[in-house]
Amino acid sequence: MTGRAWGVLLVLCGAIFLEGIDVAMLNVALPSIRADLGLSTGVLSGVVSAYVLGYGGFMLLGGRAADLLGHRRMFLLWLTIFLVFSGLGGFATEGWMLLVARFVTGVAAAFMAPAGLALITSNFPEGPSRTKALGVYAGTAAGGFSLGLVAGGVLASFGWRWVFFAPVILAAVILVAAMLLVRDTGGDRPRGGFDLSGAFTITAAMLLLAYGVVRLERPGDGPALTAGVFVAAFLLLGAFVAIERRSSSPLVRLGILRSAPLVRVNAAALLFMLAFAGFQFVATLYFQELRGWSTLQTGLAMLVIGIDTVLAPTLTPRLVNRFGNAKVLFGGIVCAAVGYLLLLPLSMDWTYAAMLPALFLLGMSFALSYGPLTMAATEGIAEDEQGLAGGLLYTAIQFGMALGLSAVTAVSAAAGGGLEGLRAALVVPLAAAVLGALIVASGLRSSSATPGEPVRDAPSEHPATTV
């Protein structure tokens, strides 16, 4: 690749790294935030949930907006909004200020992430060049999730507000570089305008789904209301499908969902992130609340998972070129399942050396899985639907993370909390990883993947199309 191409790639990688590290750093800093602002458990949970609501609720709209209004334009606009509201979160003195800041930051990420992924796929031609670019991009994203735990521990030791201020500095650098380097490829945009009725319906449905998932964390808190939220969400989804079938300019072309490979990829992404988010929450409670470790010690304990930052952009693209997406992805999810299995006998007297093999396997799983998921989610998709494909992928990832957090919280509470509760909760990541591996295995014999129907671009003959 040319020097300019590397510059564009590094800028876009910086943005997705920013999004991942922002989420991970906040999770580590939550105990410090609660202590300083005197937040209740409900408000503290809401700080995490607000981001999920904004991200999950607006992701599909964000992906389609990128296709219709321009990938570069939407990327720069929402990166700026991300920067501003992350900074405002750092100045918060009340719980409601954090809730607003995190919600808007989540909305900004929902528009920014699919636009960034679409810029990657549109700036690098399909084949080895795109595989390499997506490998580096996905590796950086995975590194944000894992290294964010370490960075959050370090920054929180100086004060939790730095968890908000540090992303502002990084976002400002990325924004300036993006304005100078990133260009739209000039491809045709979809004809027609916004499907406003579809946009309002799907956004309301996704917001309700995200809210319902968040409510699952507290199974005793109004189960009838929780059920009502899900019923309303599914009714709105039904209305959305009816609207899209009649629309001349649909927000989501329903044909793109008829592809079994595309459905498999997004289901695998949801389960993979469900497992990791659940594990991350359990590990944080185990290290800090049961073992009494500091945020810095917790972050350093997770450092080995950051091995994916090195392996994902270097090793994974080579493996994909040789074996194809499906086999590499299957190996990555199996690594995760074995890692979670090794953690099941968790005890209070475990040495770090006893935990290390499992943590190493989780780092390997991220290195082998995140890139192939990203590559497969956009493989064979027409240029004017790359934003939509990215929106589907990141919707699956975000809802997976929300479901993982809710599931382990509910299982731990049902098991009585404490060490026994955490042991029981670790079954959730294991079950999700096993199911994800089975879903990927069901597509191992596919010789090609053609996401979407009809696919307006001819599918590539590259091995990456085997998911």
DSSP letter string, 245-289: HH-SS-SS-GGGGG-HHHHHHHHHHHHHHHHHHHHHHHHHHIIII
CB–CB of 20/142 below 8 Å? yes
Query: Which of 436, 437, 283, 308 is closest to 20 using CA atoms?
Result: 308
Which pLDDT band, with edges at 50, 70 and 90, does 457 fall under?
very low
Query: Which of 297, 276, 224 is closest to 408 using CA atoms?
Result: 276
Please determine, for residue 214, whether its predicted confidence score (pLDDT) is greater than 60. Answer: yes
Please determine, for residue 191, whether its predicted confidence score (pLDDT) is greater than 70. Answer: no
Q: What is the pLDDT of residues 87-117, one digit of tens each?
A: 999 998 888 899 999 999 999 998 998 888 8
Q: What is the pLDDT of residues 216-253, one digit of tens each?
A: 766 666 788 888 988 998 999 899 888 888 877 777 77
Q: Cα 279–282–283 angle (5° rounding)?
A: 80
Phi, psi angles (nearest 5°) of residue 265: -60, -45
Give percent above pLDDT 90 in the chain: 24
Q: What is the pLDDT of residue 267?
A: 92
Q: What is the pLDDT of residue 212?
A: 80
Query: Which of 408, 404, 436, 445 is closest to 424 using CA atoms?
Result: 408
CB–CB of 330/272 below 8 Å? no
Structure tokens at 299: 């972050």
Average pLDDT value for residue range 312-330: 85
Whats the size of the chain, residue-wise?
467
Please determine, for residue 126, whether its predicted confidence score (pLDDT) is greater than 80. Answer: no
Please determine, for residue 317, whether its predicted confidence score (pLDDT) is greater than 70. Answer: yes
Structure tokens at 167: 């992303």
Q: What is the pTM of this model?
A: 0.78
| Mean per-residue pLDDT of the chain | 82
Which pLDDT band, with edges at 50, 70 and 90, does 446 fall under?
low
Rounded Cα gap, residues 369 and 354, in angstroms:
24
Residues 6+ apart with CB under 8 A from 381: 121, 256, 388, 389, 451, 452, 455, 457
